[in-house]
């Protein structure tokens, strides 16, 4: 299939996904409670007129579809509008997105730098002590719930040793513990994926053919085997991105990291529809975009897909 | 011994083990300079393992040489392979000794172009880079007669057919003018007309470069065409060795004799009216007339102009742009107690016909009559009854039995489905006995059986519902020859006992000649010729039938191999939607002998499709 047609198809599919996600989020959040009631919860002598006034002020008395339309057009034109309680959404979201991406990309990079060489080592030394060790460690890493790991790290490195700041975002040192917490989970799964796909590729006939040509172990592993197993790895990374974003919310909460997760949780607590809608939509756009990117990378890596 | 007459490779007292299991024991042989040594044996004989050891590649398969030596005697002196360092071995591999593997579909790295994969060896051993490497690669591809060689350099393996890929493999293997070429079952996965081309190319390369060859095969016909010397192996040991003519025509060892008896030889049935079992040691001698053609009354199955196509979608909206014309206007009859063989190469549609008949795929048009009833016009519940009447045996005995079910469970399931289960234990015991297994096998799982035994279980499963017709789709192709002969004999016994009809789908002309009453030859979804076995094998009329028969290797070492000049692939049965349908009629050249009326301009017809 020609690349352009492929991309176009995927972009249109992505459009449908985004409409469905934003519609559902906007609708669902309105079922959870009335922000006007929330705002006046602490006040005495609240009259129905007070509530109506607030609803009118927030634009909540308009039909749902009109509110949704305003939100979508605002999102498309870059005008994210104002939140109910915290002023303009634009700067809020862009700060949070920056913090989240910093955390996500750091942990992803760390995990790849560790898992690719270790996974290759384990696959090429199958059954050796090193391979066993790698497998035990990765299983151990998978077994920790990430919030528990986060709390343990805080207890050890902040409370007891006082080496690292326990929470918030105060310079690079703050990044270490949250990145390690997420990185451990990512590394453990990636390690397994690299090891299995490498083992799979290494047992292929074309690897034996490459050896029979007289190629060195390095050329066989890093040219032929890695290139072939990267196809599976990239697919997996794309799938992983969604759960990475989900995992981030929990870890951000543990470390009070000022990212999209924290912003979303706060918005839910306050019934701040505009912020929540925006945050969820942006996350959805990112996940869809990453998977589109994965499909394109796939075409780059695998001629069987590119040329079909 | 002088440099020029010394054997190129000397293997002495070689033993190979995988863990605690010995795969090869005390093997010794010599490969004559410029000649071809064939290693013959069935699966598990240790022939491939030996070739890996000669390449110094054994350690990558998990095996090791436990004793003995492998000496390569090249122009630059003698090298001991078993003790050589990895660096020395890398200089030998692909350079002085190179190898062609069995599976052309998986031998090339799917993500690199053909040119870059050939270039790797040229750069490594001959220091060629850039344009020089590219020119040399193109020259090599021309040498192996790959059409449009230079353009192929930029293509990827998946864009090439199996035969083309095997040519690329050969080009790669001879790229550094090796002293020794090891060909491990190089044509086993290929169609017979393509096999003939590949064997010719290997002989040409041998002539061109003076290369010595180790040719590993289970196919005695192929070996007979290729070998100067033969080593017969069994269970890791050498059974017999000697000049090809001696071993084939006057085998000394009992095993070799049994092996030769089990090999179906094309032409062996000349003049015989009816199929005949193999004469196997320990079995009652087969008699002519054991399996006469049945009385031709009412046919059991009748196909009338059955057409089956598969859609191929493409483009933005996934429209159907092409169709695989897998079966076109296929008509034939099978009578009770008769074996009709459907022969053809890959893409000929023979399996599709079987699947359509078994109602696994729905035809686009046509009628299927079973004892006069049009199956396709029935409603689904009535149709179910006919599914019982027609049973299927698949090629792969390893994949077709559920590994988590005992034999008994596998056998009773179809009986329960069709409401035939009465006394499970007795029924299973009877079925197992009828296929030569023992009743106590019922509680075992498939992995406890050998390939041949599994195929017997698959036959028992087909028999479980007492069908009228069994479709045997390449049912013996994956088996070793001696096992293959036993399973064929069993199938013929069952036919004689039960009056069963077979649709025997096969690419192997020699087996077909042995088992069938009538033969239909398929090419690109169409039957091009059909007749009794003798009509097809002794008086073939269609150019394609003739070509197919000529391509079958004959086990006769005294006969010089016929020079194959044919190149090119089997055309694809994929056609664009709206492509005018090419159909042909039949002429009856003799009673019951039908011939496609396109036989005179078959070449143009063929090219018309290929273009």
Give the pLDDT confidence of B512-571 residue by residue, as tens digits.
999 999 999 998 888 999 999 999 999 999 988 998 888 888 888 777 777 766 566 677
Contact B315 A1 (CB under 8 A): yes
Q: In what helix (H) or strand (E) does residue A111 lie, and over which residues does it extend?
A: helix A89-124
Residue B146 pLDDT class (50, 70, 90 cuts): confident
* Distance separating alpha carbons of residues B205 and B172, to the nearest angstrom: 12
Is B139 within a domain? Answer: yes
pLDDT at B3 over 70: no
CATH number for the domain harbouring residue B519: 3.40.50.300
Is B410 within a domain? Answer: yes
- Shortest alpha-carbon distance between residue A126 and chain B (Å): 11
pLDDT at B611 over 50: no
Contact B103 A212 (CB under 8 A): no
Residue B560 burial class via C-beta count within 10 angstroms: exposed 0-12, middle 13-18, buried 19 and up: exposed
- What residues in B contact A4, CB-CB < 8 Å? none
Residue B2 pLDDT class (50, 70, 90 cuts): very low
Contact B315 A204 (CB under 8 A): no
Strands B574-576 and B373-374: unpaired
Q: Which of A213, A216, A234, A304 to mutate to test the interface with B (most CBs of B within 10 A)?
A: A213
Q: What is the DSSP letter of B375?
A: G
Q: Are the CB atoms for B495 and B509 separated by under 8 Å?
A: no
Contact A213 B108 (CB under 8 A): no
Is B269 within a domain? Answer: no
- Shortest alpha-carbon distance between residue B565 and chain A (Å): 28
Contact A303 B110 (CB under 8 A): yes
Q: What is the pLDDT of residue B109?
A: 94
B459 and B527: one domain? yes
Contact B91 A214 (CB under 8 A): yes
Contact B156 A224 (CB under 8 A): no
Q: Which domain holds residue B95?
A: 9-262
Q: What is the pLDDT of residue B581?
A: 62
Most trustworthy range by pLDDT among A243-252, A267-276, B280-289, B461-470? B461-470
Q: What average pLDDT does range B383-389 have in this prediction?
A: 85
pLDDT (tens digit per residue) in B470-484: 999 988 888 888 888
Q: What average pLDDT does range A106-117 have in this prediction?
A: 90
Contact A213 B315 (CB under 8 A): no
The pTM of the full predicted model, rounded to 2 decimals, is 0.83
Is B276 within a domain? Answer: no
- Rounded mean pLDDT of chain B? 87
Six-digit token string for B35: 């000649």
* Distance separating alpha carbons of residues B464 and B416, to the nearest angstrom: 10
Contact A211 B315 (CB under 8 A): no
Q: Which of A197, A200, A212 to mutate to test the interface with B (most CBs of B within 10 A)?
A: A212
Contact A228 B109 (CB under 8 A): yes
Tokens 């005008």, located at residue:
A79
Q: Select from A213, A217, A224 the Cβ nearest to the Cβ of B94.
A: A213
Contact A215 B124 (CB under 8 A): yes
Residues belonging to chain B with any Cβ–Cβ distance to chain A shorter than 8 Å: 55, 57, 60-61, 86, 90-95, 98-99, 101, 103, 106-113, 120-121, 124-125, 156, 158-159, 169, 172, 314-316
- What residues in A contact B92, CB-CB < 8 Å? 214
Q: Are the CB atoms for B301 and B368 separated by under 8 Å?
A: yes
Q: What average pLDDT does range A260-273 have in this prediction?
A: 85
Tell me what percent of the residues of chain B surpass a pLDDT of 70.
93
pLDDT at B39 over 90: yes
* Distance separating alpha carbons of residues A307 and B520, to the nearest angstrom: 37
Q: In what helix (H) or strand (E) does residue B365 lie, and over which residues does it extend?
A: strand B365-370
Q: What is the pLDDT of residue B1?
A: 43
Q: Which residue of B has its CA nearest to A9?
A: B316
Residue A242 pLDDT class (50, 70, 90 cuts): confident
Helix (H, G, I), strand (E, B) or coil at B518: strand
Q: What average pLDDT does range B417-440 have in this prediction?
A: 90
- Shortest alpha-carbon distance between residue B107 and chain A (Å): 4
Q: What average pLDDT does range B292-320 have in this prediction?
A: 82
- What residues in B contact A8, CB-CB < 8 Å? 316
Is B236 within a domain? Answer: yes
Which CATH superfamily includes the segment(s) A89-306?
A: MetI-like (1.10.3720.10)
- What residues in A contact B112, CB-CB < 8 Å? 224, 227
- What residues in B contact A13, CB-CB < 8 Å? none
- What residues in B contact A231, CB-CB < 8 Å? 111
B164 and B93: one domain? yes
What is the DSSP secondary-structure string of A19-61? HHHHHHHHHHHHTS--HHHHHTTT-SS--HHHHHHHHHHHTTT
Residue A63 burial class via C-beta count within 10 angstroms: exposed 0-12, middle 13-18, buried 19 and up: exposed
pLDDT, greater one: A198 or B584: A198
Residue A116 pLDDT class (50, 70, 90 cuts): very high
Contact B106 A1 (CB under 8 A): no
Q: What is the pLDDT of residue B247?
A: 92
At residue B67, φ and ψ (nearest 5 deg) are -160, 170
pLDDT at A304 over 60: yes
Contact B107 A209 (CB under 8 A): yes
Q: Which of B111, B174, B185, B315 to mutate to test the interface with A (most CBs of A within 10 A)?
A: B111
Residue A59 pLDDT class (50, 70, 90 cuts): confident
- Shortest alpha-carbon distance between residue B127 and chain A (Å): 13
pLDDT (tens digit per residue) in B107-117: 999 999 999 99
pLDDT at B361 over 80: yes
pLDDT at B411 over 70: yes
B251 and B364: one domain? no
B421 and B506: one domain? yes
CB count, 10 Å around CB of A134?
Answer: 22
Q: What average pLDDT does range A235-253 have in this prediction?
A: 85
Q: What is the pLDDT of residue A201?
A: 93
Q: What average pLDDT does range B237-263 have in this prediction?
A: 90
pLDDT (tens digit per residue) in B548-558: 888 888 888 77
Residue B239 burial class via C-beta count within 10 angstroms: exposed 0-12, middle 13-18, buried 19 and up: buried
Contact A213 B98 (CB under 8 A): yes
B232 and B314: one domain? no
Q: What is the pLDDT of residue B580?
A: 64
pLDDT at B99 over 60: yes
Residues belonging to chain A with any Cβ–Cβ distance to chain B shorter than 8 Å: 1, 5, 8-9, 204-206, 208-217, 219, 224, 227-228, 231, 301-304, 307
Residue B590 pLDDT class (50, 70, 90 cuts): confident
- Shortest alpha-carbon distance between residue A301 and chain B (Å): 7
pLDDT (tens digit per residue) in B169-204: 999 999 998 999 999 988 887 888 888 888 988 998
Tell me what percent of the residues of chain A surpass a pLDDT of 90.
18
- Shortest alpha-carbon distance between residue B314 and chain A (Å): 7
Q: Which residue of A has its CA nearest to B107?
A: A206
What is the DSSP secondary-structure string of B264-280? --TTTTTT-SS------
Q: Which residue of B has its CA nearest to A203?
A: B61
Q: Which of B87, B103, B110 to mutate to test the interface with A (most CBs of A within 10 A)?
A: B110
Strands B365-370 and B373-374: antiparallel
**What's the structural domain count of chain B?**
2
pLDDT at A274 over 90: no
Q: What is the pLDDT of residue B413?
A: 92
pLDDT at B166 over 70: yes
Q: What average pLDDT does range A257-281 have in this prediction?
A: 86
- Shortest alpha-carbon distance between residue B87 and chain A (Å): 8
Q: What is the pLDDT of residue B290?
A: 61
B193 and B46: one domain? yes
Which stretches does DSSP call E strand in B32-177?
36-40, 64-74, 77-80, 97-100
The lowest-confidence range among A78-82, A298-302, B14-18 is A78-82
Contact B106 A205 (CB under 8 A): yes
Q: Select from B91, B92, B158 the Cβ nearest to the Cβ of A304.
A: B158
Q: What average pLDDT does range B65-70 have in this prediction?
A: 93
B502 and B603: one domain? yes
Domain ranges for chain A: 12-77, 89-306
Is B287 within a domain? Answer: no
pLDDT (tens digit per residue) in B128-139: 989 999 999 999
- What residues in A contact B120, CB-CB < 8 Å? 210, 213, 215, 219
Q: Are the CB atoms for B526 and B361 separated by under 8 Å?
A: no
pLDDT (tens digit per residue) in B336-347: 999 999 998 887
- Shortest alpha-carbon distance between residue A112 and chain B (Å): 22
B456 and B379: one domain? yes
Q: What is the pLDDT of residue B65?
A: 93
């Amino acid at each position: 299939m020609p690349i352009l047609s492929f991309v176009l198809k995927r972009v249109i599919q992505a459009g449908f996904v985004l409409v469905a996600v934003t519609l559902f989020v906007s609708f669902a959040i309105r079922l959870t409670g009335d922000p006007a009631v929330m705002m006046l919860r602490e006040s005495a002598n609240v009259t129905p007129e007070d509530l109506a006034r607030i609803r009118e002020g927030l634009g909540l008395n308009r039909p749902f579809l009109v509110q949704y339309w305003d939100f979508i057009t605002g999102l498309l034109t870059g005008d994210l509008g104002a939140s109910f309680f915290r002023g303009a959404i634009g700067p809020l979201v862009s700060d949070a997105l920056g913090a989240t991406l910093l955390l996500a990309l750091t942990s992803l990079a760390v995990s790849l730098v560790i898992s690719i060489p270790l996974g290759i080592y384990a696959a090429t030394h199958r059954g050796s002590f090193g391979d066993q060790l790698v497998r035990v460690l990765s299983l151990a890493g998978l077994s920790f719930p990430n919030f528990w790991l986060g709390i343990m790290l805080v207890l050890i490195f902040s409370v007891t040793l006082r080496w690292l700041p326990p929470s918030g975002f105060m310079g690079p040192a703050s990044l270490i513990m949250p990145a390690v917490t997420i990185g451990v989970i990512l590394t453990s799964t990636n390690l397994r994926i690299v090891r299995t796909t490498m083992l799979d590729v290494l047992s292929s006939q074309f690897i034996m053919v490459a050896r029979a040509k007289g190629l060195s172990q390095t050329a066989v592993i890093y040219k032929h085997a890695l290139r072939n197993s990267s196809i599976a790895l990239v697919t997996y990374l794309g799938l992983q991105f969604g759960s990475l974003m989900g995992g981030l919310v929990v870890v951000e909460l543990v470390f009070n990291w000022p990212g999209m997760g924290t912003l979303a949780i706060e918005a839910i607590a306050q019934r701040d529809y505009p912020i929540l809608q925006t945050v969820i939509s942006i996350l959805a756009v990112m996940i869809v975009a990453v998977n589109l990117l994965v499909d394109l990378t796939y075409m780059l890596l695998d001629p069987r897909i590119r040329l079909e | 011994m002088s440099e020029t007459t010394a054997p190129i490779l000397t293997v002495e007292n070689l033993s190979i083990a995988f863990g605690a299991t010995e795969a090869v024991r005390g093997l010794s042989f010599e490969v004559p300079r410029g000649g071809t040594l064939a290693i013959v044996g069935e699966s598990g004989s240790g022939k491939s393992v030996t070739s890996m050891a000669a390449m110094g590649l054994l350690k990558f398969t998990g095996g090791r040489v436990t004793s003995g030596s492998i000496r390569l005697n090249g122009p630059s002196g003698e090298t001991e392979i078993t003790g050589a360092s990895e660096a020395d071995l890398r200089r030998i591999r692909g350079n002085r000794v190179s190898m062609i593997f069995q599976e052309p579909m998986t031998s090339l790295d799917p993500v690199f172009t053909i040119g870059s994969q050939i270039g790797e060896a040229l750069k490594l051993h001959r220091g060629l880079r850039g344009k020089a490497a590219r020119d040399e690669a193109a020259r090599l591809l021309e040498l192996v007669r790959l059409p449009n060689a230079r353009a192929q350099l930029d293509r990827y393996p998946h864009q090439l057919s199996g035969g083309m890929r095997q040519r690329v493999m050969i080009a790669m293997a001879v790229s550094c003018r090796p002293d020794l070429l090891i060909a491990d079952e190089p044509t086993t996965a290929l169609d017979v007309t393509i096999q003939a081309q590949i064997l010719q190319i290997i002989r040409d390369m041998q002539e061109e470069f003076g290369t010595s060859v180790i040719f590993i095969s289970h196919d005695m016909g192929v070996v007979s065409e290729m070998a100067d010397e033969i080593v017969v192996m069994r269970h890791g040991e050498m059974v017999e060795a000697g000049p090809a003519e001696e071993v084939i025509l006057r085998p000394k060892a009992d095993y070799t004799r049994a092996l030769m008896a089990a090999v179906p030889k094309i032409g062996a049935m000349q003049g015989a009216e009816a199929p005949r079992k193999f004469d196997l040691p320990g079995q009652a001698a087969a008699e002519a007339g054991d399996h006469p053609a049945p009385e031709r009354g009412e046919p059991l199955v009748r196909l009338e102009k059955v057409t089956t196509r598969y859609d191929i979608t493409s483009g933005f909206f996934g429209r159907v742009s092409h169709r695989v014309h897998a079966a076109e206007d296929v008509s034939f009859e099978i009578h009770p107690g008769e074996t009709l063989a459907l022969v053809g190469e890959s893409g000929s549609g023979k399996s599709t016909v079987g699947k359509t008949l078994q109602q696994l795929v729905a035809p686009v048009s046509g009628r299927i009559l079973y004892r006069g009833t049009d199956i396709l016009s029935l409603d689904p519940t009535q149709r179910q009854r006919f599914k019982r009447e027609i049973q299927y045996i698949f090629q792969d005995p390893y994949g077709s039995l559920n590994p988590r079910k005992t034999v008994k469970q596998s056998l009773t399931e179809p009986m329960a489905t069709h409401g035939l289960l009465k006394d499970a234990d007795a029924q299973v015991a009877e079925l197992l006995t009828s296929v030569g297994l023992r009743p106590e096998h019922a509680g075992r799982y498939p992995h406890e059986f050998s390939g041949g035994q599994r195929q017997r279980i698959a036959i028992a499963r087909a028999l479980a519902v007492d069908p009228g017709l069994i479709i045997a789709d390449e049912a013996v192709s994956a088996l070793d020859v001696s096992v293959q002969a036993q399973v064929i004999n069993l199938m013929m016994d069952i036919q004689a006992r039960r009056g069963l009809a077979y649709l025997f789908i096969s690419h192997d002309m020699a087996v077909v000649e042995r088992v069938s009453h009538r033969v239909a030859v398929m090419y690109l979804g169409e039957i091009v010729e059909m007749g009794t076995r003798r009509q097809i094998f002794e008086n073939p009329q269609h150019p394609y039938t003739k070509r197919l028969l000529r391509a079958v290797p004959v086990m006769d070492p005294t006969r010089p191999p016929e020079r194959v000049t044919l190149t090119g692939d089997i055309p694809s049965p994929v056609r664009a939607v709206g492509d005018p349908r090419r159909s042909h009629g039949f002429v009856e050249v003799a009673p019951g002998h039908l011939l496609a009326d396109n036989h005179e301009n078959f070449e143009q017809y063929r090219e018309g499709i290929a273009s």
